[in-house]
Amino acid sequence: MLYNFLLVLLIIDGLVLAAVVLLQAGQGGGLASLGGGTTDLVMGGRQAVTILHKASWITGGLFMALALFLSIAASSRAIGETEVQRRLRQQAPAQQPIPTAPLQTTPAPAPVPPGTTGATGSPTPPPPPATPPATKP
C-alpha cells in the first residue's frame, strides 16, 4: 500500500518536474557561448529567481526524496516467489552434480603380488615369462 502510494507520487512529481523545466526560458547561448565571451555568458549570468526556478528546485528535491523513500519501502516489501522461481527450485534437486575424482599428479604404482620383496624391502619386478624349449624336428 505504501509502496504504491509512493510510486504514484513519484510519477506525478516526475511529470510536474518535466513540465516546469520545459516551461523555463533558456539561459541563452547554450553551447555556442563556449566559443568566446566572458564567463558570465557561459553560465547565463545572474538572473531574477522566478516561480518556475523555485518550482524546479522544489520538485527536483521532492523527486529525490520520494525515490529514496520508495527504495527503502521496496527493500522492506515482502515479495513472494514467482512461478518461474518455483519451477527452477523444483528442477534443481533432480539434476545431480557429476562427482569428480581428485586429480592425480603422479602415476599410481603397479600392483605387487604378495610376498615378492627384495633384499632392501622394496618390491622386485616380476621375472620375465618362461619360453618353452625349442625342439628340433
Query: Over the Cα atoms of the chain, what is R_g?
Result: 42
Percent share of the chain, pLDDT over 90? 26
Percent share of the chain, pLDDT over 70? 55
Task: Return phi, psi of residue 52, to 5°.
Answer: -70, -35
Task: Report the alpha-carbon distance of residue 19 to residue 11 in Å, rounded.
Answer: 13
Q: Read off the pLDDT of each residue in 58-86 and give the average, rounded to a whole number.
A: 86
Q: What is the pLDDT of residues 107-130, one digit of tens each?
A: 777 776 666 555 555 656 666 666
pTM (predicted TM-score): 0.47
Task: Report the alpha-carbon distance of residue 112 to residue 52 in Å, rounded.
Answer: 95
Average pLDDT along the chain = 75
pLDDT at residue number 112 = 65
> Is 30's pLDDT higher than 60?
no
> Strand, coil or helix: what is 22?
helix
Higher pLDDT, 3 or 81: 3
Binning pLDDT at 50, 70 and 90, where does residue 65 land?
A: very high
